[in-house]
């Protein structure tokens, strides 16, 4: 008991030394969130010390510009007299002001970049907290807080180095993609942002119904597995998962043959996965607008619409994809009747299959989960039939003449 009291006193002393009030520390201890409070002070060692007017005086950046940048990062407005800003904020806004002064960027571009950074970092931060929570589920709040005080700044620096590593690698990859964009852009205008890409969407069948039946832990396993399969197959073949939208993945790749392989690989991998159901896939190719790590244009819209009408386990492609790959000896095709796609009109599409695996959709299983449901349903019907037969037999005995 004495050791626990000493550990609690040590954690409280750590927090008070970094500016946390007695009231804040005691409330966190009572609510069992000391670990989270320590995390906040590890990340923000200087504490919140400055108001909006203080920031303007310290950085030379006007309040209007400060708030515009602040909102773009994803943070809500603060009251004029609220001490909401830290030394880290002073450093960041000072850098922003210097960039604007040198003319290397304009305010609109800086705000747009802040918006992209804020969106990405929000997801990273939430993922890190989830990872930390799962890693220390067996550890009580006080022990977790004590471990964090011991790690202190070294833990932050480790994560920061990993983020910088990922940023450098992805910036180098994006630079190579931009070089390819320039080579394809015959106008020579770097501002056009036009690039020919294959764009695909993979949508998991029955996810809404499935999510209603699963616990939080089971649902997390399904979502994680869905993302793992998508990222693994797409990146292995040179593509990129642009974003995950719940039960849907958007992917792009320059090579149309690679796009066909990854689409079919995705359909087969999900069908054979014991945890997941089938996916349906829509694939198009053509010019797209590349902007802030995302892609826009009619080709993207069409692929997104196509996936909604595809059958489970199937890959639907546009006429353009078929025209470019129709001579492939590895693929077989089935022409579909023109279908109306919302906001696009009537479109001719093709079902694309791998030679030798032209299994009909009806014969493809929808994942181990759905197979178990079918097995259980068959078992239940069999039991009902047996009960019915016994009931009829008993009735016949009572009704038969003596």
Per-residue pLDDT reduced to its tens digit, 212-266: 778 877 888 888 888 889 999 999 998 999 988 878 999 999 999 999 999 999 9
Please tell me the pTM assigned to this model. Answer: 0.64
Q: Are residues 207 and 355 both part of a single domain?
A: yes
149 neighbors 11 (Cβ within 8 angstroms): yes
User: Distance between CA 307 and CA 247 in Å, rounded?
Assistant: 12
Please give the distance of CA 286 from its chain centroid, rounded to a whole number. 25
Tens of pLDDT, residue by residue over 337-359, are 988 888 888 999 999 999 887 65
Token pair listed for 28: 């966190």
Residue at 245 is within a domain:
yes
Quick check: 186 pLDDT over 80?
no
What per-residue confidence (pLDDT) applies to 260? 96
The span from the first CA to the last CA of the chain, in angstroms, equals 82
What per-residue confidence (pLDDT) applies to 366? 46
Q: Angle, to 10 degrees, between the axis of helix 216-236 and the axis of helix 256-272?
A: 150
Q: Are residues 172 and 197 both part of a single domain?
A: no
Closest CA to 19 of 41, 52, 51, 43: 41
Rg (CA), the chain: 29
User: Distance between CA 43 and CA 47 in Å, rounded?
Assistant: 9
Residues linked to residue 196 through DSSP beta bridges, in sequence order = 287
Q: Are residues 44 and 109 both part of a single domain?
A: yes
Q: Which residues, including other chains, have CB under 8 Å from residue 198's CB and lie 6 or more apart?
A: 252, 253, 254, 255, 256, 258, 259, 283, 284, 285, 321
Residue numbers of the domain that contains 333 = 193-366
CATH number at residue 329: 3.30.70.1230
User: Distance between CA 43 and CA 121 in Å, rounded?
Assistant: 14
Cα 199–202–208 angle (5° rounding)?
145
Tens of pLDDT, residue by residue over 313-341, are 999 999 999 999 999 999 999 999 988 88
Q: Are residues 267 and 342 both part of a single domain?
A: yes
Q: Are residues 162 and 259 both part of a single domain?
A: no
Where helices occur in 214-362 by DSSP H, the ranges are 216-236, 256-272, 298-307, 319-325
Q: Are residues 113 and 224 both part of a single domain?
A: no
Tally of structural domains, the chain: 2
Closest CA to 331 of 346, 344, 321: 321
Tens of pLDDT, residue by residue over 94-139, are 999 998 999 888 898 888 888 888 888 888 888 777 766 665 555 6
Last residue of a domain, one of 118, 143, 176: 176
Last residue of a domain, one of 122, 147, 176: 176
């Amino acid at each position: 008991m004495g050791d626990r009291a000493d550990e609690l006193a040590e954690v409280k002393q750590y927090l008070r030394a970094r500016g946390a009030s007695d009231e804040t520390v005691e409330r966190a201890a009572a609510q069992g969130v000391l670990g989270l409070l320590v995390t906040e002070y590890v990340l923000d060692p200087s504490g919140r010390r400055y108001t909006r007017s203080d920031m303007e005086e310290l950085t030379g950046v006007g309040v209007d510009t400060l708030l515009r940048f602040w909102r773009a990062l994803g943070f809500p407005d603060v009251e004029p007299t609220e001490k909401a800003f830290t030394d880290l904020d002073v450093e960041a806004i000072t850098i922003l002001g210097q960039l604007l002064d040198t003319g290397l960027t304009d305010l609109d571009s800086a705000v747009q970049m802040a918006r992209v950074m804020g969106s990405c970092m929000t997801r990273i931060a939430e993922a890190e907290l989830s990872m930390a929570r799962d890693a220390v589920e067996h550890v009580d709040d006080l022990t977790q807080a004590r471990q964090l005080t011991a790690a202190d700044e070294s833990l932050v620096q480790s994560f920061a180095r990993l983020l910088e590593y990922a940023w450098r690698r992805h910036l180098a990859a994006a630079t190579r993609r931009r070089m390819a964009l320039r080579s394809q852009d015959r106008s020579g205008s770097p501002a056009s942002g036009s690039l020919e890409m294959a764009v695909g969407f993979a949508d998991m069948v029955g996810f809404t119904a499935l999510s209603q039946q699963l616990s939080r832990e089971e649902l997390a396993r399904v979502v994680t597995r869905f993302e793992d399969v998508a990222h693994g197959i797409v990146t292995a073949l040179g593509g990129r998962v642009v974003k995950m939208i719940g039960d849907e993945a958007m992917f792009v790749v320059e090579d149309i043959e690679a796009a066909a392989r990854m689409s079919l690989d995705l359909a087969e991998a999900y069908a054979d996965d014991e945890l997941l159901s089938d996916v349906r896939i829509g694939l198009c190719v053509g010019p797209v607008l590349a902007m802030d790590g995302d892609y826009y244009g009619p080709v993207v819209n069409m692929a997104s619409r196509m996936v909604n009408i595809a059958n489970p386990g199937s890959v639907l492609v546009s006429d353009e994809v078929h025209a470019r790959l129709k001579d492939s000896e590895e693929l077989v095709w089935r022409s579909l009747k023109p279908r109306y796609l919302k906001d696009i009109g009537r479109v001719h599409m093709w079902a694309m299959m791998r030679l030798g695996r032209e299994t009909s959709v009806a014969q493809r299983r929808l994942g181990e989960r759905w197979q178990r449901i079918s097995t259980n349903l068959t078992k239940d019907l069999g039991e009902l039939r047996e009960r019915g037969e016994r009931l009829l037999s008993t009735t016949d005995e009572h009704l038969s003449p003596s």
